[in-house]
Chains A and B, each alone.
Chain A
Amino acid sequence: MRDVAIVSFAQSNAASEVRSEVEILQPVAAEAVKNSGLARTEIDFTCSGSSDWLQGQPFAFVMALDAVGSWPPIKESHVEQDGAWALYEAWVKIQTGEVESALVYSFGKTSPGDIAQVQALQLDPYCVTPLWPDLDSLSAIQARACLEVGVVTERAMAEVVSRSLRDARDNPHAVRKGDHSVDDLLERPFQVSPLRELDCPANSDGATAMVIVAGDRAKQLCDRPVWIRGFDHRIDPPALGTRDLTRIPSAKLAAEKAGAHRDKLDFAEVTAPYSHQELLLRREMGLADDLSVNPSGGSLATHTLMSCGLNRIGDAAMRIAAGKGDRALAHAGQGPCLQQNLAVVLEGE
């Protein structure tokens, strides 16, 4: 595998944006390009992630090209997935040897539509979507299954929330943050029992951009390139009724294949939109109880749909670049109850 490094990262997150997607994305992409040290036209490949349903327009990603510039014509692709999978496609493209660098971006607004209803469109269209369950409810079913067998406790979930929102105070991009004691959290009413409001994701609007560069060129561009040492993603079956909801086999497999434990991890950034899912991911991906997870605050602090996975990777990379750790696991997940999971291992020089 070729050595590939994350050389720059930028993000914008807000609870609710009145700007258009192009207006949100343009400064973020410009910042990532500027901080990469490469000129826009020097970047060999571009790949993005988005979903048409968030703005209710087919080909939403076509207009987004206006925000990154595509003249002269660019080598470009797009996934209708979280930007973390766009990063994967870009990384694969560099592995072919055809390109040396890539701009990866993603964007999404959860505020314009009824996001609960929009997200119900990802379920079995014949037998499940017609009943209009929201992801909060499906995740609550998963949480209860976990509570029943004791792989999580309500207190442990509250501890995840308390720690995440406290850590988020240091994250300027977090839209939900604060100091909440575990006891206080456990007193709060249920949103969808057994989940309370703060166990659920902080849905937000925003955009994310990242530049990755291969080999020696990355070393020239930054003092401390953050290397992608392993990269993998896997998927589980969609029907919740056929899955053991207390397990996430695809997360375990992705972390193994990415080589998460070939060496000691200093911290992890995982996409856990619901508090119990962090606990499940810790178990599946073999993260020790005392390992720092989501120092950014994670999805409980900012859940920018289509960007949240790429944000976790970028947050982890920037933390390593700042010298706050040498080796991290970053994870992206999407689909109901984390059906699809991606793991990337990052290392500082």
Chain B
Amino acid sequence: MATIEELVARAEPLKGPHVIEYPFRRSCGPVLSKFFTGLREGKLIGVRSETAGVLVPPAEYDPQTAEGLTDFVEVGPAGKVVSYAWVSRPRPMQLLQHPFAYALVELDGADTGLLHMVDVGGDESKMSVGMRVAPRWKAEREGSVRDIEAFVPEAEARPAPPVIAEPDEPVKSVATPLRLEYDFTAGREQSIFLRALASKKIVGARSPGGDLVYVPPRGTDPRTAEPTPDFVEVSDKGTVVTYSIVRVPSENIHFELPYVCINVLLDGSDIPFFHVLQNCELTDVRLGMRVQASWAADEDLTESVESIRYFEPIDEPDVPFEQFKEYC
């Protein structure tokens, strides 16, 4: 088990994967509904504007004047490439995984460019500004810009396959799932705290002047932003200064409901932190009760707050409210 000095000496912060993932579904309103319903039917719909001619995709408003637009027109499906970028090494997120172009395609009858992909089989020499292209439609379409797999040279294009089952309802929303992966760095101060947890220690940092101890260390005293380089071990026993009993589910929280979320003020520290209380009847939870960390088994200790499985009551007399009222 490492000493605090050893932990502080290890400068390299911890890193770990962080994922943000959500299946966003967007209601599209009356104008984009026309566009997406058209795509599902294998048609391209634009809208006429006063200042920019026929806009594709259609907008609800003129881009210069913000006046509302409702004069829809069918355009394309063929058109010409106005400009393009050649993507020789597609990124993992992108929909074509061989070299392709992102291009602005001005569809016949439209006055603005539609941003999409052009697939020329990976051969950049087939790309040119002004080239004629047409959509390569998906067979199964849902009402999305992705119903067009890509634009292709006009000669290679085929008409849109008929819709397999014609739904009555216009398209009302579009799914735009998101998954972002981050290589999260915990930072130096936080890493000292986390590594200490793997050694069953809880480490705080003294405020400049030493009058107050922050757990976890925050790098600075948040009042003054002065650095807090002086680390100190605090007890794994503490006092519940306030709490709530949570009965509402959440995607990212993995405790069985209901659970008790406590603000616990550890002995030797001056700031409470959030954790859960277990092995306690809900009706017994109270302000001022004494609790102690229940640590994971030695082989399960990690550089994470998960090393403290939960807090649990201990057989010590309650602390009177007057003694901790400044901390809650």
Contact = CB atoms under 8 A, between A and B. Distances in A.
| Touch between chains A and B, by CB atoms below 8 Å | yes
B240 to A, nearest CB: 25
B106 to A, nearest CB: 8
Contacts of A151: none
Given A141-B103, A239-B59, A23 B222 contact: no
Interface string B114-138: 1111000000100001000000000
Interface string B170-186: 00001010101111111
Contacts of B63: 237, 239, 242
Interface string A71-98: 1000000000000000000000000000
B91 A132 contact: yes
B128 to A, nearest CB: 10
Interface stretch (A7-15, A122-130, A168-176, A258-266): A122-130
A22 interface: yes
Contact of A112 (B91, B182, B221): B182
A292 interface: no
Interface stretch (A60-68, A216-224, A309-317): A60-68
Interface in B96-126: 102-104, 106, 112-117, 124
B161 interface: no
B20 interface: yes
B219 A20 contact: yes
A55 B182 contact: yes
Nearest to A20: B187
A1 interface: no
Interface residues of A, number: 63
Given A26-B220, A69-B222, A190-B86, A133 B13 contact: no
A4 to B, nearest CB: 24
Given A68-B225, A125-B176, A18 B12 contact: yes
Nearest to A116: B91
Given A18-B13, A20-B188, A71-B222, A142 B88 contact: no
A257 to B, nearest CB: 18
A347 to B, nearest CB: 32
A323 interface: no
Given A118-B180, A141-B84, A19 B188 contact: yes
5 contacts: A69-B220, A127-B145, A141-B102, A239-B59, A241-B104
Interface of B: 12-13, 15, 18, 20, 24, 26, 28, 32, 35, 52, 55-57, 59, 63-64, 82-88, 91, 93-95, 102-104, 106, 112-117, 124, 129, 144-146, 174, 176, 178, 180-190, 218-227
Counting from the closest, the 3 A-B pairs by CB-CB distance are A20-B187, A140-B85, A69-B225
